[in-house]
Structure 1
Amino acid sequence: MKFEIIKYNNSYKEIWNSFISTSKNGLFFFERDFMEYHSDRFKDHSLIILKNNKITALFPANESEKQIISHGGLTFGALIISHTVKTSEVLEIFSEIKQYYSELSFDEIIYKAIPHIFHKYPAEEDLYALFRNDANLYRRDISSVIDLSQPIRFSETKRQLVRKCKENNVTVTENTNFEEYWGLLTSVLQKFDAKPVHTIEEITLLKEKFPENIRLYEAQKDGNILAGIVIFDFGNVIHTQYMAASPEGRKAGALDFINHFLLDTFKDRKYYSFGISTEKQGTYLNEGLIQQKENMGARGITLDFYSIKL
């Protein structure tokens, strides 16, 4: 056997995080401080794949009864690989991972592929391996993204709202304290019988752990918050994680104003991501939501979920 598989434990934390930072498709939320903020909800069963006693790949995952999910607490969580790994080796790694979990009596792997825009270097060998292993594509969400090298203009309506905010002296500032905005966000989501994925305690902890990656921008007028957007900074990609506006902020177009500000602030990056507009395992498209994003120039990429039977 060319590869050795080790189950992750805390003694590997430092080398795990180091590999994430140097891999070709690793992201900050695969670092253990992020993955473990909700460790009470997910039973970790991540893997380290070695070749000649050197890490070649990581597989962030948790177990749920007879399933292995990569990863239940993250938007996606695929095989993280080094720049040196070749396609034939990825095929072998997949076979070893399947055998490892099968021998432990798991019967399925849920694999959430990382969209290509988040790769630091081309890294779709896993998609070929999924095909070769008869993986079933059972869910597909559509996410809206702006290519910052050639952005499409805002719609005329949204440009008018941006001008209106400027004329009314609305300002956009970064705030390191999330508490007041979380109150606004929570009240907005309650109207839809929903709540933020992260509690204020969790997002505050994650902000402390990843101060450069998790940032809050607020639109204010006369000291009052009109709207806010939390971004996850993935380097090549700026991803909007939480967006909410007060009734006054919605009327003023404050969210459009923040997005316009952020698109200019991060114009040196590759992509600006708004996230998905689908529900019910991807079978329902929220047309009103995706229209708002498309009116800012965003267009679609997919987030794909695969099932591998063991």
Structure 2
Amino acid sequence: MTELQLSAVSRWYGNVVAVNDVTMHLGPGITGLLGPNGAGKSTLLSMMAGLLPPSAGTVTIDGTPTRGNIAIYRQIGLVPVQESLYDYLTGTQFVRLNADLQKVPSAAAATARAIGLVEMADAADRKVSTYSKGMRQRIKVASALVHDPSVLLLDEPFNGMDPIQRRHMMDLLSRLGQQGRTIVFSSHILEEVEQIARHVEVVVAGRAAASGDFSQIRRLMTDRPNQHLVRSSDNRRLATLLLADQSVRGVRLRGDKALEVESDDFGRFAQVIPRIAKEHDIRLIEVTPTDESLESVFGYLVGA
């Protein structure tokens, strides 16, 4: 049962702070590392893998520092976000290269097994330069699995995959997690994390924003106030009517052109506003959510 521990970890580049005082305790199963682009996810994964030393704090696997430890490296499989591969190699040669570097016994059989896991056997003898983005992702995963690591780190692993490839990869990661491996994958897409990760670590601007069971964190996200921009044929009258409904927390007039509406219940508000407009003969011109981006959700979590 392998455990990955980050203790007060920071990483900076000159005056730029990429990761700031992050502590995480990651055990067997799947952990989703969730955050907007530029949040520090890739830097965290690089430090977990021992590729990048923390500027402060420690990263350990079962109490042993990851950085500069060959025995620890043999326990880690890394799928980086970078797409640059050895394009002149075939898929088989690319995976076999990591098997040889890891001194895997029966490297040829291990290579075939790893390629089979990601369903790339039919394309294994083609050069990597001919692969689509989704195929490149899958062959990187095969390379990371060839030495049977106990810790698997994946940076945006579903990029470029079509829906069938994505479903297969999610099923594969779920099976590996059920086997007791410690799996951490990063994503800026909430739905990807929701489908396979029960434990979630949320990072925003290099800081830990939330940690724990996905359903609890998801509830925080869905219970947050929802912001809408509303334009209608009679904004002042509509504002008065909306304030009388329990789903609406507040309304602010943006001159005579629009309303800014804050709702506590997105589902109810979506039903109420067209009903009110119809009953009072008010024409709705625009109803636009203004805080649906993950950045706004994460910002809400940080302030929660």
Scaled to the shorter chain, the TM-score interval is: under 0.3
TM-score by length of 2: 0.25
Of structures 1 and 2, the one scoring higher in RCO (CA 8 A, sep 6+) is 1
| TM-score normalised over the length of structure 1 | 0.25
The structure whose Rg is larger is: 2
